[in-house]
Amino acid sequence: MRWDLGPQVLDGPLYGSRLGSVDANGNVTWQGNGEIVDNENYILLETRTFHPERKYLLPIPLSELDANPNMEQNFGY
């Protein structure tokens, strides 16, 4: 938040582990030809959209809003 890097680092696809499994003995089985490739066979978990109007501000605690009736909650919360 401090460096305004949200659109570069928090927007786009989010990948999880590689496709494959590990058995109880620690043997790894990969989908495909069995080779481990650094940038392939990852599971797409979700595609994120960064909203700067909401993500650069944190919510104001309810106790602070109750203490000051002139204060309004930040946009998006």
Supply the pLDDT for residue 35. Answer: 47
Residue 1 lies in a domain: no
Distances (CA, A) of 51 to 6, 15, 41, 45: 9, 20, 29, 19
- The first and second tokens of residue 43, run together, are 């599971």
| Helix, strand or coil, per DSSP, at residue 25 | coil
Please check the confidence at residue 56 and state whether its pLDDT lies above 60. yes
| Helix, strand or coil, per DSSP, at residue 6 | helix
Q: What is the pTM of this model?
A: 0.44
**Mean pLDDT value of segment 22-46:** 60
Please check the confidence at residue 73 and state whether its pLDDT lies above 90. yes
**Mean pLDDT value of segment 19-24:** 62
Cα separation, 10 vs 28, in Å, equals 31
Q: Which residue range(s) make up the domain with 30? A: 6-67
Residue 76 lies in a domain: no
**Mean pLDDT value of segment 23-48:** 62
Residue 50 lies in a domain: yes
Residue 28 lies in a domain: yes
Report which secondary-structure segment, H or E, holds 5: none
Please check the confidence at residue 76 and state whether its pLDDT lies above 60. yes
Instruction: State how many domains the chain has.
Output: 1
